[in-house]
Structure 1
């Protein structure tokens, strides 16, 4: 494992990796068709430099935001580190986001350059060659599109020496990841170079990751889960990342075995859908020692998964704002399922009441975390000082909005979310955001959105809808309306048309009576 101090930037990290791990395998990428591409550290470092020079040639400089709308692919990783090499900022857009969602984020961050695939041109409402403010870089395309910059051709035409070597610090912004929260408007989690490097070092400890390891992930690359809990620990350990373009239950474990994965990222949906597959004689013949997992599954599902696939689950808890699973099973020694673990190095954790007072052992309260903003916690919410102040609180304890308790030995246990945030197949869905979309329907008078249990996807999005008097509204109408405004995983899977909603004395919808 390389040694990185608090002042290490991502450019420093890549310089070290190219020098000390140049011939070692860095990335193994398998696309949706099964085509596999591999890169050593030296090869990829060269591609990162050329990508950095490409962005600089388009006028991208220090502090500039570039929107990247790509599926899981090597090009996204090249963009991420190419941008940070010149002091610029990657803003990943979820590949399943709608045109309206993408447009709002692009406008908020002031991105003048976007990177997308051919089918992303429609999602981004970008007209190649128009007089708009955007340069469009088209990746993963074999056919030239007028008015766009062909990523591969333009990248390969650049020098393999960095032409714009600006001064960087570890507190410079490296990325902004927009995440659903309790408000209608997604918040931008601002990440520094130190956040990314520090997250890698943390997960290296958590998973006991070494240079010989091969970490396999199918998590969306636009997520903190991928960037900070898979990609970065691989880099800080000098290990190998096996990146799958998409998850398929019928092929996933065969891919795990074929690529000799030693550590695998997972979520509840993966565990459940894997258990639904027909058993195969070769399933236990694997090298996987840890499955990095983020609640919730049942005791029975955990036992069945570990016994069937001859591996073990490492449980942990974290949020986008805490970067990593700050509460975690240790890499060695006792684990106390269903505990979400004990606090990891560099963090403090407690259970507190609504007034911020720490609660005694066994009492249920909010899980709160304290660290260093810009290093072990996010730096801030983008352009939202009020939300940042509310998240950190006056005492520096970050409010997670989740309820739990701890035992006398310092093991924490998750109880439930105190917010109404819906978790669906690893994605966070804000009910307020869905309700805001429903409010644009002329036939809807009022709505309330809640999460309801789903046996495979953790939770389903359910909308209770009150029609305008005289309106003839169907569930299909509501879903069609939402598909035009929201990413598909946010669209209500269940719609119930109701004459009215229950309200509190202060006229707020009483969601505890729904669901």
Structure 2
């Protein structure tokens, strides 16, 4: 992984096109079940034509391009075209509402947005932005216009920006370099022991590092085959895993739990899966039942968008100590630190911290936010994750909880502060608090407690409709409660722990349900 500092995505991609030729690179199954397969050389021609078209549309090195497309061949094609040509890719969640789309495009100063017809209107009025469909962002294949894409691009240049929810109302943009992409690809290739004949299947959202850095890039690094399924379906998922002969599968708690809820079917253990890439713990009983029923094993790991991959991970071979999240992987150092910033001894709980090389094994920084970038590290270069855990005497790490308030809903991270900010935009809401509550399928659900303005009668339907027009679907509160007041701590902060405890106990306290 040492050469990652100098290589670019274009270097990695073109090397594999030369080596792999007609070997399948991408298998794409859309929401209707239609499947298309593309070889490396065939897909390279599609990427080159898209890169050429973008240049004709005025996109140059360093320009940001928003991609608002469903997970599939067109999304992967344009993502590779943007990054390999030296521009900056910003993948948007297909379900993002208009205010968020416009905000992201303005934050990155996007020059071009490649969208589905249904999404194009969400970018109306963004200054300096040209909006086109995927067909308009591609030249005729074989035109020759795509010669020498990526010329002059270095490993230090920015390749993409991924927005991640944090403890503030405004999501931070994690800046990814080409060196980040190459490092991530090679790290997960090592982690999952990916070889040229492997077939990695994913349903992860393309706007996150789970897809870009932990699925797409490792497949390219290994010269393997990527299988993308546009939409996760509990009923169809395991049949798709079997039909596509997947050898490696990405999974999260929501997928495990929805699969376990399905009736047992004959032949479930008849598959080619040798590794399930998993993120963070699961109750022992569910983990054991899943592995027994489907005849698989989970490779557990821990990471954040800022550290790109599962920096702490089960090793690819040998011992695993569930529920441990693993040991520190190549390219990183890890420790558990106390409030004073000093390393703690084995068994002592504290903050999990990571150290690596910014721009290679760690993000280059937060977009246009040097203060937050500096605050993410201590004076010795240790990255503060905000997550609690401990390490045992043999170097195995254990995750305990998230210090931040982030709500983990399936594959999505939801910022309570962001949801609260939207709630307070409602003309009838005087105060608002948002917490995560246990959900049997998605890990957590979003609960909002609101205090109305005097004389205003709020309904759950009204508040949820307000949020649905301004937030991605996973962030829309599943339950809204109306309260006379919010509980406060001695320092006058909202006592979110009290709200969570009331919800867990099935009591709203002073809150009254706004369900209609």
User: Displacement of 1:225 after TM fit?
Assistant: 0.2
Contact 1:54 1:158 in 2 (8 A): no
User: Displacement of 1:358 after TM fit?
Assistant: 0.9
Contact 2:409 2:445 in 1 (8 A): yes
Alignment of 1:444-459 (within 5 A): 444-459=429-444
SS in 2 for 1:94: coil
Alignment of 1:469-484 (within 5 A): 469-484=454-469
Equivalent in the alignment of 1:24: 23
Equivalent in the alignment of 2:205: 220
Contact 2:162 2:208 in 1 (8 A): yes
Distance in 1 (alpha carbons) for counterparts of 2:64 and 2:427: 36
SS in 2 for 1:190: strand
Q: TM (normalized to structure 1)?
A: 0.94
Distance in 1 (alpha carbons) for counterparts of 2:25 and 2:3: 18
Alignment of 1:343-358 (within 5 A): 343-358=328-343
Equivalent in the alignment of 2:131: 136
Alignment of 1:94-243 (within 5 A): 94-125=93-124, 133-139=128-134, 150-151=136-137, 154-156=139-141, 158-159=143-144, 161-162=146-147, 166-243=151-228
Equivalent in the alignment of 2:88: 89
User: Displacement of 1:87 after TM fit?
Assistant: 1.2
Contact 1:53 1:158 in 2 (8 A): no
Equivalent in the alignment of 1:307: 292
Equivalent in the alignment of 1:49: 48
Contact 2:51 2:146 in 1 (8 A): no
20-29 or 2-11: bigger deviation: 2-11
User: Displacement of 1:402 after TM fit?
Assistant: 0.7
Alignment of 1:281-300 (within 5 A): 281-300=266-285
Contact 1:367 1:404 in 2 (8 A): yes
Deviations 1:155-188 (A, max 9, x none): 5374254266530110100000111111100110
Distance in 2 (alpha carbons) for counterparts of 1:223 and 1:467: 35
Deviations 1:28-55 (A, max 9, x none): 1111111111111111111111111111
Contact 2:376 2:384 in 1 (8 A): yes
Contact 2:161 2:173 in 1 (8 A): yes
Alignment of 1:329-478 (within 5 A): 329-478=314-463
User: Displacement of 1:190 after TM fit?
Assistant: 0.3
Contact 1:420 1:450 in 2 (8 A): yes
Distance in 2 (alpha carbons) for counterparts of 1:157 and 1:123: 33
Contact 1:211 1:238 in 2 (8 A): yes
SS in 2 for 1:307: helix
Distance in 1 (alpha carbons) for counterparts of 2:221 and 2:439: 37
Instruction: Report the aligned-residue RMSD.
Output: 1.6
User: Displacement of 1:295 after TM fit?
Assistant: 2.3
* Cα distance, 1:355–1:155 mapped onto 2, change above 3 Å: farther
Equivalent in the alignment of 2:478: 493
The yes-or-no answer on 1:265 pairing with 2:260 is no
Contact 1:50 1:162 in 2 (8 A): no
* Cα distance, 1:472–1:157 mapped onto 2, change above 3 Å: farther
Distance in 1 (alpha carbons) for counterparts of 2:373 and 2:154: 22
Distance in 2 (alpha carbons) for counterparts of 1:307 and 1:216: 21
Structure 2: gaps (5+ residues): 501-516
Deviations 1:114-154 (A, max 9, x none): 00111112333369xxxx63222212xxxxxxxxx6345x4
SS in 2 for 1:112: strand
Distance in 2 (alpha carbons) for counterparts of 1:402 and 1:165: 38
SS in 2 for 1:52: helix
The yes-or-no answer on 1:73 pairing with 2:72 is yes
Equivalent in the alignment of 1:142: none
Contact 1:56 1:164 in 2 (8 A): no
Distance in 1 (alpha carbons) for counterparts of 2:417 and 2:122: 23
User: Displacement of 1:229 after TM fit?
Assistant: 0.5
Q: TM (normalized to structure 2)?
A: 0.94
Distance in 2 (alpha carbons) for counterparts of 1:258 and 1:454: 30
352-361 or 407-416: bigger deviation: 352-361
Structure 1: gaps (5+ residues): 140-148
Contact 2:302 2:313 in 1 (8 A): yes
Equivalent in the alignment of 1:61: 60
* Cα distance, 1:157–1:136 mapped onto 2, change above 3 Å: farther
Distance in 1 (alpha carbons) for counterparts of 2:485 and 2:183: 50
